[in-house]
Amino acid sequence: MKKKLLLSSAAIVFTILLSLFGYILILYAGDYVIDEKKLVMNSATRLVDEKGQLISKLYLENREIVSIDDVPEHVQNAFVAVEDTRFYQHHGIDVRAVFRALYKDIIAGSKVEGGSTITQQLAKNVFLTNDKTWLRKTKEVIIAINLEKKYSKSKLLEMYLNQIYFGHGAYGIQSASKLYFNKDVNQLTVDEGALLAGIPKAPSTYSPIANMTKAKERRDLILNLMQTRGYVTPEETVRYQGKTVQLDVHQQSADPALLTYTDMVFDEAKSVYGLSNEELLRGGYTITVPLNREVQDIAYQLFQDSSYFPGTDEHAEGAFVLLDNKTGGVLAAIGGRNYVQKGLNRVLVNRQPGSTLKPLAVYGPALEEDKFEPYSMLVDQKLSYGEYEPKNYNNIYKEKISMYDALLESSNAPAVWMLDQLGIDTGKKYLSKSGITIPDNGLSIALGGLEEGISPLDMAKAYRAFAANGQIVQPHVISKIVDRNQKLIGKPSLEEKDVFSKQTAWYMTRMLEGVVSEGTAKSGQYSGTLAGKTGTTNFPGKEGTIKDAWFVGFTPSVVGAVWMGYDRSDLEHHLEQGSSFPTRLMKDILEKSSLPKEVAFTMPSDVTELERPIRLADVNDLAANISFRPLGLFTVSLQWTPADDERVEYRIYKKTESDDELIASVEGEGAYELENVNIFSLPSYYVVPYNTQTDEVGKPSNMVRPEFFSRN
Question: Which residues are annotated as catalytic?
Answer: 83, 355
Distances in Å between the Cα of 204 and the Cα atoms of 207, 375, 534, 631 are 6, 74, 56, 115
175: nearest Cα among 84, 312, 57, 293: 57
Rounded CA separation 585/57 (Å): 30
Q: What is the enclosing helix (H) or strand (E) of 629?
A: strand 623-629
User: In one letter, which amino acid is 204?
Assistant: S
Contact call for residues 211 and 205 (beta carbons, < 8 A):
yes
> What are residue 56's DSSP bridge partners?
47
**Residue 575 burial by CB count (10 A; 0-12/13-18/19+): exposed, middle or buried?**
buried
In angstroms, rounded to a whole number, what is the distance separating the alpha carbons of residues 177 and 72? Answer: 12
Q: Please check whether residue 221 is in contact with residue 198, taking contact to mean a CB–CB distance below 8 angstroms.
A: yes
Distance (Å) of CA 229 to CA 243, 284, 463: 21, 36, 69
The 10 Å Cβ neighbour count of residue 624 is 21
Rounded to whole angstroms, the Cα distance separating 472 from 463 reads 8
How far from the centroid of its chain's Cα atoms is residue 280's Cα? 19
Asked if residue 363 lies in contact with residue 407, where contact means CB atoms within 8 angstroms, the answer is yes
Integer Cα distance of 72 and 154 in angstroms: 12
d(CA 177, CA 191): 12
CB 179 within 8 A of CB 166: yes
Q: Which residues contact 280 (CB under 8 A, 6 or more apart)?
A: 45, 58, 265, 266, 269, 270
Beta strands in 630-706 (DSSP E): 633-639, 649-655, 660-667, 671-675, 684-691, 696-697
3-state secondary structure of 379: strand
Residue pair 698/690 in contact (Cβ under 8 Å)? The answer is: yes
Q: At what angle do helices 234-241 and 212-228 cross, to 10 degrees?
A: 170
CA 678 to chain CA mean position, Å:
76
Q: How far is CA 660 from the centre of its chain?
A: 64
